[in-house]
A and B are shown apart, each in its own frame.
Chain A
């Protein structure tokens, strides 16, 4: 997976940053749009919410992976 991104010059940090920025934008957008009625502006709020959560979780998994890597490197 990482090698795939690295072929586009993106390292782990770049991907993590990309996930973080998009997750923040999507989570804020989905929370703000929850109060808006979709009767006139027809879109699926639940799907937006789902994508935002998936992006947020993706970022969390990457952080956990990075933490695991540090912990492994500290092992004697």
Chain B
């Protein structure tokens, strides 16, 4: 078991503190009691706040990269050429059981068609394209759990603030995030996103970037799909100098 430096310092302080409490009792010294209690307490705080497992983003990127590669290969093998679209799943509403989805899903049509035709195809028993689960679905669910809100009951304006708080404060997925709405377009700018390395790798995957998106872009697409209750497409994804700009379109 490997301990981090602050945690080791915490254990040392805690041990010295406990020893000092006995010494203060032995010498009957009030200042020593104060010092002993404080050292013990700060030792405990260091152990308490530095506990927990931390995995580097490099490791997570490597684990996720193979999943994204599999998805890319599956889409390539399916010979579908159309633009992927995120289809909302309305909880409580009737959904044909053969779809097999319990959340929003991605439909990739065989070739580019009008939005109406693509949406119609998405719900067919044997669609010409393929239905896949979004790579960011788990992350979108985590965000929903963290903020204890139902994105399906939110409007896009309130979502902007919530998204900022979850992504920058709670989960620290990005240093800063700006969401702007222009008609049916949603412009998202992220500064120093946590999966910048994976996003860079995804850019080389023709079938993933930009329409399916990396897990982070995909998670935001899932959230937008839930809040708007409309199909969403990822129109553009640009990365420059630690900044990612994504353009989503509400269909």
Interface residues of A (CB under 8 A from B): 7-10, 14, 18, 22, 26, 34, 37-39, 42-45, 47-48, 51
Contact = CB atoms under 8 A, between A and B. Distances in A.
Contact of A9 (B28, B41, B45): B28
The 9 closest A-B pairs by CB, nearest first: A9-B30, A8-B33, A42-B54, A43-B49, A47-B49, A48-B49, A44-B49, A43-B50, A47-B48
21 contacts: A8-B21, A8-B33, A10-B34, A14-B33, A18-B34, A18-B37, A22-B38, A22-B41, A37-B175, A39-B172, A42-B4, A42-B50, A42-B54, A43-B6, A44-B48, A44-B49, A44-B52, A47-B49, A48-B45, A51-B45, A51-B49
A47 B54 CA distance: 15
Contacts of B29: 9
B25 A44 contact: no
Interface in B1-60: 4, 6, 21, 24-25, 28-30, 33-34, 37-38, 41, 45, 48-52, 54
Contacts of A10: 30, 33-34
A4 to B, nearest CB: 11
A64 to B, nearest CB: 22
Nearest to B6: A43
Contacts of B37: 18
Interface residues of A, dominant DSSP: loop
B25 A8 contact: yes
Contacts of A18: 34, 37-38
B143 interface: no
B134 to A, nearest CB: 25
Contacts of B140: none
Contacts of A22: 38, 41
Interface string B186-227: 000000001000000000000000000000000000000000
Interface in B43-93: 45, 48-52, 54
B6 A9 contact: no
A17 B6 CA distance: 27
A56 to B, nearest CB: 14
Contact of A7 (B25, B54, B172): B25
Contacts of B38: 18, 22
Contacts of A34: 169
A39 B49 contact: no
A8 B24 contact: yes
A18 B41 CA distance: 11
Given A18-B38, A48-B45, 20 more contacts: A7-B25, A8-B33, A9-B28, A9-B29, A9-B30, A9-B33, A10-B30, A10-B33, A14-B34, A18-B34, A22-B38, A39-B172, A39-B194, A43-B6, A44-B48, A44-B52, A47-B48, A51-B45, A51-B48, A51-B49
Contacts of A8: 21, 24-25, 33
Nearest to B45: A51
